[in-house]
Amino acid sequence: MPGFLKAIGCLLRRDLTVALRRSTDVLTPLVFFIIVVSLFPLGLGPEPAILRTIAPGVIWVAALLATMLSLNRLFADDHADGTLEQMALSPHPLTVLVLTKVAAHWMLTGLPLVLISPLLAVQMNLPESAMGTLILSLLLGTPVLSLLGAVGAALTLGLRGGGVLVSLLVLPLYTPVLIFGAGAVAGVIAGIDIEAHFSLLAAFLALALTLAPWAAAAALRVSLE
């Protein structure tokens, strides 16, 4: 189906172009991520031992919050100018279009978080041996955050207090990813075998990839009624 793949390609290119034209939007969650992580040493004191213990959790929680803050950008602009309705009316399945938009969202928020995380890890005194695990766990976990977040963003589209509401809906669902993402990094530092953590993170990603686009598409149809 060339038309179908062409639509996906067009949508992906469009979303990336639109976002990069307003690059501050892309940078804001990233700066937020850096600031939140930097606040912890200020609140807890600069002892390297303490920072090393809390580093995996702090970086992961900050990644959760940064992703959550960026969620309103996912559908809100397209909803406001009517593009979203055109997408819902297009002959291509909305599920796949949603998945494409989520992919674009991850490239613009998840991926930068992953790329900047080694810098913050150094700041938090994380041992170098845990660096690879941190990057890999974020690489597996952040797409799940974007996918689940898409459901929350679609449900709260155009509602008053949407930003706070989306956090209430989405954060409880993020707990498994947080547990095993931060757990993997902490496990490497403690010298535990962390293969199971990665298997579970990958399982969450597979589950979210298959189910979340459907839920998000159904939620969008409700919001567009």
Partner 1 sequence: MRERGKTPSPLALSREGELVKIYILIDMHKYASPKFFYTLAGQLTPWMAALTALLLVAGLYFGLFIAPADYQQGESYRIIFIHVPAAWMSMFIYVCMAGAGAIALVWNVKLFEMFAGNCAPVGASFTFLALVTGSLWGKPMWGAWWAWDARLTSELILFFLYMGYMALEASIDDPRRAARASAILALVGVVNIPVIHFSVEWWNTLHQPASVSKIGTPSIHPSMLAPLLLMSLGFTFYFFTVALMRMRNEILERERHTTWVAQLLESRS
* Six-digit token string for 108: 């613009």
169 binds partner 1 (CB under 8 A): yes
Gap between the Cα atoms of 104 and 169, Å rounded: 22
Nearest-5° Cα angle at 95, 78 to 21: 30
Identity of residue 137: S
Residues 6 or more apart in contact with residue 128 via CB below 8 angstroms: none
- Binders of partner 1 in range 134-163 (CB under 8 A): 148, 151, 155-156, 159-161
191 binds partner 1 (CB under 8 A): no
65 binds partner 1 (CB under 8 A): no
SS3 content of the chain, % helix, strand, coil (to 5): 90, 0, 10
Gap between the Cα atoms of 145 and 67, Å rounded: 7
**CA 57 distance to own-chain centroid:** 16
- The contact pattern for partner 1, residues 192-221, with x = CB under 8 A and - = no contact, is x-------x---x--x---xx--x--xx--
172 binds partner 1 (CB under 8 A): yes
Sign of CA dihedral 151, 156, 158, 164: negative
Pick 115 or 222: Cβ nearer partner 1: 222
104 binds partner 1 (CB under 8 A): no
Pick 26 or 61: Cβ nearer partner 1: 61
What letter does residue 130 receive in the DSSP assignment? G
Q: Which of 27, 168, 199, 206 binds partner 1 (CB under 8 A)?
A: 168
Gap between the Cα atoms of 205 and 12, Å rounded: 20
99 binds partner 1 (CB under 8 A): no
Identity of residue 160: R
User: Is there a contact between 120 and 37 (Cβ–Cβ < 8 Å)?
Assistant: yes
Least spacing, CB of residue 38 vs partner 1, in Å: 26
Pick 122 or 207: Cβ nearer partner 1: 207
- The count of chain residues that interact with partner 1, using the rule CB under 8 A, is 31
Q: Which residues of the shown chain bind partner 1 in the complex (CB under 8 A)?
A: 148, 151, 155-156, 159-161, 165, 168-169, 171-173, 175-176, 179-180, 183, 187, 192, 200, 204, 207, 211-212, 215, 218-219, 222-223, 225
